[in-house]
Amino acid sequence: MNRFGRRLAVGYVLLALVFAVVGPWLAPYDPERPTADVLLAPSLDHPMGTDASGLDVLSVTVAAFRTDLLIAVCAVGISLLVGIVLGVLAGYSFGGSRVFRTVGVTVDRLLDIVQSIPVVILGLALVATFGRGVPSVVAAVAFVNVPVFARLLRASVKSVERSGMVQACRSIGLSERTTLRRHVLPNSLDSTLANGSIAVGTAILLTAALSFLGAGVRPPTPEWGALISNGANYVSTGQWWISVFPGLVLSVTVVTFAVAGEVIRAAVARSRGKAAAEDPTFEAIVQDEMRMP
Amino acid sequence: MSSPRLQIDELVIGAGEGDRSSTPVRGASLAIGAGEILGLVGESGSGKTLTGLACLGLFQPGVRPVSGTVTVDGQAISALPERERRKLRGPSVAMVFQDPLSSFHPGLTIGSQIVHSLLDRGVSRADAKKRCLEVLGEVGLPRPDAQAKRYPHQLSGGMRQRAMIALALANRPRVLIADEPTTALDPTVQAGILRLLRRLADDGLAILFISHNLGVVAGLCDRVAVMYQGQIVESGPTAELIGAPRDAYTKTLLAAAPTLPEPGELGIEAVPVDAPRVAAVVDVDAETALFDLRGVSRHFTTRSRGRRSTVHALDGIDLTIRRNTSVGVVGESGSGKSTLARLLGALDHPSTGQVSFDGQDIATLSKEQMRSFRRRVQFVFQDATSSLDPRYTIRDTLAEALSTHGVREPGEQSRRIAALLDQVRLPQQLLGRHPRELSGGQRQRVAIARALAPRPEVLIADEPVSALDVSIQAQVMEVFRDLAENDGLTLVMVSHDLALIRDVCDTLVTLYNGTIMENAEADTYYDQPRHPYSAALLDAMPNPRHIGRLPEVLALGEPADPTAPPSGCRFHPRCTQAQDLCASTVPLLRPEPGRELACHFPLQVAAPARKAEL
């Protein structure tokens, strides 16, 4: 991915976030009120055509930014919080405490179990249990993402704990809690947080997938997966536009969130100064040292 | 000298782009003839490794040749296209790296990798197999046919490095580039590799030996070139250059290199073994004893492929550390040095036995007493970089250590921080910097300053300078010596470098395979090592004063496996003095004048009695 591509991706993500806020007002037609103009092909009046109930596809697609992004961002936010807590429990030794060791192993196994169930099936089951609607989709998407973040954090907590820093904290007499709060967590969060943006992409995909399968938000809430599912019946009879346009927007959104996540991760890694030797001041420092008594 | 095997003329190497570009090598020239070893000495960042790689026409990413020529065996490799260069690598010039584990393919056997390197050159499979066994034997691997079938991780460090050399030699190169080939090895193992390189050179190979260790270079190399900031500042025959250095930098480097005294040089009066005097090291009353270890063992259980095994990191340690002394803990890697340090610092618990501090068992300390212990006993780790929080400035790091122990008032804190920096000789301007903006030596000083923050009585340092350059090692050791001598600190220093800690330590505890071999006053120890293992350690230490004299190989083979400690005296399988008794009976730690000793047949004279053949 070259520099232009990366900028384009970040630009698109920002645009998507703007759409999520103002999308419904930008829509030329009401995205939720059916009209008599059913199954019109793309034209100047309806650039993406209309669907079987006469909804303007462009309007629904633009308005759906809010639904899909809201669900995805909320779900990722919740799973980040829960994942961080579980990741710490699973990863940190708390100074070799037996209780926390048991807790850690238990959390580990539970995450294993959750991860062993296919994501979409788990999501379907959750929505089936709690009923359709935005909150249950958020809960379902959040639930399947928790193990991802918990695993990431667990791994980085473990590697930070293995580094000398935690030993040093113990040897100067810091309590385990203080060590965890001040040193272990801040140094472990980087990769987990950067992964948040990537996860938003996959969360959008899962949201749409659930809707496509009929387990998503209630109609007529504008949503990409639901729209694609509606249009799927008409593709074979030639009305391709109902599924294709929202499908394109969905794909582009998922990919760009993943790319933006990579960009964020790279930026964070750079700012941490992974390679001190590249620091322009480094040579000067070495010379400082040579001159010292 | 006939035409040189390797010749470098005015080599300039550039790195980076735009405003970040630099010139790590600026006009280096050198030449090596057949049968000659040239030592290329300098500290990290001086351009040694880049020069070595350039001899094979190799450049790391972001690094490019700017000008100059490299001629290998009469062919200008620097002028050839990559395809042609590749043909020279192997038959003309080959390289041995510092870390053989990361240089070998982990999933192929040693033998198949050597065979592959030959097949690539058009050798038939049968010949390649024959040559493989031949070259493995040549580098001193016992039973080459068995070794060829093993994977890199199954070999010990020293054996692996020999295998790496075999791989390099397979195509009978005319020039060998050896980049710090022994730096990661124990001195006792290093000695054997150095002898191997010397023998190869005597058979006609031209070797460029890259090293930061002047002691090694003095013993091994015919000529030395000193590199500083990308330039060769001085070069000449080893004896001349080390005996009478002209360049200021060479002089600094030599002055910083630690040296060991010759046996008997200190003139310690030899005391008959049966003298009625009781040794000072064991004559300890409760007043002076700060740490007291009784029957301390530390075992770790490991599992590999479902099989449990017990690592005997420490076994039955009895040791007393007196107030206001500095104790060195020495031994090879895996001898239990670091485990001992961690037990003393209460960073780990003994499996059996007890560790007492100031008359009280550490295991029974209450929470309140433990806090006081943490204040009184501080730790300095080997890797300063990983022991400092990268997000904290130096000021934050020191302030945290102070406030943990009750110094919270800002004015008082700043005053203490300033004083701490002075104590470790760091300029005050560094306070606002992050660890990544400091050099390795500065980071270790910050770590020392942090340890000193709560005004401890004991400082435990685990290999505190082994990751640093020689000239910087000397500066940091100076700080430790100052603390031990002038500030009345009790110092426990773990080190594998006997020369380095010589000026700092009063007594030396020698560990092997988790047990104490000898515990002696430093002068006595250096002057008359009586345990064969101590003598082996001392003799394996490279010494810049030993020009053209390689360290002796007094300890046979490699350190014993800590999961299966040998019977009787743990050192007996490697000991040149061992007799039947040693294999059957564990020698007890007996007091002698100036030392405690666990050996059935201690050396009677300072000089080694017998030399092992390679």
Mean pLDDT value across residues B16-38: 88
Distance from CA of B40 to the nearest CA of A (A): 20
Kindly list the distances between the CA atom of residue B379 and the CA atoms of A169, B317, B343, B459, B461, in Å, as whole numbers in the listed order: 10, 21, 11, 6, 6
Number of domains chain B is built from: 3
Measured CA to CA in angstroms, residue B64 lies from A24, B47, B53 at distances of 56, 13, 11
- CB neighbour class for B213 (10 Å; exposed up to 12, middle 13-18, buried from 19): buried
Same domain, yes or no, for B164 and B188? no
A277 touches chain B (CB under 8 A): yes
Q: If contacts are CB pairs under 8 Å, which of residues 220-239 in chain B contact chain A?
A: none
**Structure confidence at residue B594 (pLDDT):** 84
Is B112 found in the same domain as B31? no
Segment 150-189 of chain A within 8 Å of chain B by CB: 163-165, 167-168, 170-174, 182-183, 186-187
For residue B273, pLDDT over 80 is answered with no
The whole-angstrom distance between B76's CA and the closest CA on chain A is 31
Question: What is the reported pLDDT for B125?
Answer: 93
In this predicted model, which residue has the larger pLDDT, B33 or A215?
Answer: B33
CB-CB under 8 Å, A289 with B450: no
pLDDT of residue B275 exceeding 80? no
- Whether A290 and chain B come into contact, CB under 8 Å, resolves to yes
Q: What is the largest CA-CA distance in chain A?
A: 89
pLDDT attached to residue B593: 82
- Residues 214-273 in A contacting B (C-alpha not used; CB under 8 Å): 272-273
Residues B232 and B120 occupy one common structural domain: no
Task: Output the pLDDT for position B266.
Answer: 64
Are B472 and B441 in contact, with CB atoms under 8 Å apart? yes
Give me the pLDDT at residue B277, please.
41
- Tell me, what CATH number does A26's domain have? 1.10.3720.10
| Residue B469 forms part of a structural domain | no
CB contact under 8 A, A172 and B427: no
| B461-475: average pLDDT | 86
pLDDT tier, B272 (very low <50, low <70, confident <90, very high otherwise): very low
User: ipTM, 2 decimals?
Assistant: 0.75
pTM of the complete model = 0.81
B368 to chain A: nearest residue by CA? A173
CATH number assigned to the domain comprising residue B605: 3.40.50.300
Looking at residue B264, what is its pLDDT? 64
In this complex, do B437 and A285 lie within 8 Å of one another by their Cβ atoms? Answer: yes
Q: Which of A175, A188, A281, A286 best tests the B interface by mutation, with the highest count of B CBs <10 A?
A: A286
Beta strand B37-41 pairing with B206-211: parallel
Shared domain for B108 and B235, answered yes or no, is: no
B36 with B179, same domain: the answer is yes
The answer on pLDDT for B214 being more than 60 is yes
Q: Are residues B535 and B598 in the same domain?
A: yes
pLDDT at residue B259 is higher than 50: yes
* Interchain CB distance below 8 Å, A173 and B471: no
Give the per-residue pLDDT at B605. 55
Co-location of B187 and B74 in the same domain: yes
Q: Are B510 and B596 part of one and the same domain?
A: yes
Q: State whether residue B450 sits within 8 Å of chain A by CB.
A: yes
Q: In this prediction, what percent of chain B has a pLDDT beyond 70?
A: 94
* pLDDT at residue A284, rounded to an integer: 39
* Domain span holding position A248: 3-291
**Mean pLDDT over residues B510-530, rounded?**
90
Q: Which domain-ending residue is among B172, B207, B230?
A: B172
CB contacts, 8 Å: B441 with chain A:
289
At B296, the pLDDT band (50, 70, 90 cuts) reads very high
Helix (H, G, I), strand (E, B) or coil at B364: helix
Instruction: Report the distance separating Cα A222 and Cα A229, nearest Å.
Output: 12
> Of B212, B231, B257, which residue constitutes the final position of a domain?
B257
Domain count of chain A? 1
Domain stops at, among B172, B199, B219: B172
pLDDT band at B546 (very low <50, low <70, confident <90, very high): confident
Q: Which pairs count as long-range contacts for B404-409, CB under 8 Å and 24+ apart, including other chains?
A: B404/A172, B404/A173, B404/A174, B404/B454, B405/A172, B405/A173, B405/B375, B405/B453, B405/B454, B407/B453
Residue B592, pLDDT above cutoff 90: no
How does the average pLDDT of chain B come out, rounded?
A: 87
pLDDT band at B557 (very low <50, low <70, confident <90, very high): confident
What whole-number distance in Å separates Cα of residue A135 and Cα of residue B292? 63
Encode chain A (293 residues) as per-residue pLDDT tens digits: 678 888 888 898 898 888 888 877 888 888 888 888 877 888 888 888 888 888 888 889 998 899 899 999 999 999 999 999 999 999 998 887 888 889 999 999 999 998 898 888 888 888 888 888 888 889 989 998 999 999 999 999 999 988 888 989 988 889 889 999 999 999 898 878 878 878 888 899 998 888 888 888 887 888 898 889 888 888 888 888 888 999 999 999 998 988 888 888 777 777 665 443 334 344 434 444 443 33
Distance CA B522, CA B446 (A): 28
Q: Do A289 and B442 touch (CB under 8 A)?
A: yes
- B294 pLDDT more than 90: yes
Average pLDDT over residues B369-388: 91
pLDDT in the model for residue A77 = 94
Nearest by CB: B436 against A183, A273, A286 = A273
- B166 and B201 in a single domain? The answer is no
Query: Residue A272's pLDDT is what?
Result: 63
**Helix extents (H) in chain A:** 3-26, 57-91, 98-116, 119-130, 134-162, 164-171, 176-178, 185-212, 224-235, 241-271, 282-291
For residues B534 and B594, give the distance between their C-alpha atoms in angstroms, rounded to a whole number.
Answer: 15
pLDDT given at position B268: 57
What share of chain B has pLDDT > 90, as a percent? 51
Give the range of the structural domain holding residue B38, as residue numbers without chain letter. Answer: 1-92+175-257
- HEC string of B151-163? CHHHCCHHHHHHH
Specify the amino acid at residue B559.
P
For strands B6-15 and B63-72, give the pairing: antiparallel
pLDDT at residue number B269: 53
**The pLDDT value given to residue B613:** 37
Which residues, including other chains, have CB under 8 Å from residue B444's CB and lie 6 or more apart? Answer: B380, B384, B464, B465, B467, B468, B476
Distance CA A74, CA B94 (A): 58
**Does residue B463 sit within a domain?**
no
